[in-house]
Amino acid sequence: MNRILVLLGTAMALLVFASPALAQAAEPVTLFPSIGLKAVGIGLGMGLALIGGGRGIGNIGSSAVESMARQPEAAKDISGAMILSAAFVEGATLFAVVVALIMVFVSK
């Protein structure tokens, strides 16, 4: 009970002392003034696309190697399917990065 009262008192004190600071003239504040939040979002999108593509190709490769270890006679079929699947994942990742780069140049 005592801890709750201390937290409540601290929150009230912060609210009282913060009100004069918040009453100042409003100036537009940007997080990244020279870059813009759009560019930050585009960069995060590109990074997530690349991380997802790398993770997908890693999963495809590990599953293929595991399958080849279980059935060595089917190694040719498995490797062909692995290369085709990895190409599809790589294509989707490249498409996402190209779209993000287009957004960088178009969204100015």
Mean pLDDT of 62-84: 93
Q: Is the pLDDT of residue 21 over 60?
A: no
Which sign does the torsion angle of CA 86, 88, 90, 92 carry?
negative
pTM for the model stands at 0.60
Domain ranges of the chain: 31-106
Q: Please report the pLDDT score of residue 26 as a whole number.
A: 61
Mean pLDDT across 35-47:
79
Give the pLDDT of residue 35.
61
Assess whether pLDDT exceeds 70 at residue 25.
no
Class of domain 31-106: mainly alpha
Q: How far apart are CA 54 and CA 60, in angstroms?
A: 10
pLDDT at 90 over 80: yes
Cβ pair 93, 60 in contact under 8 A: no
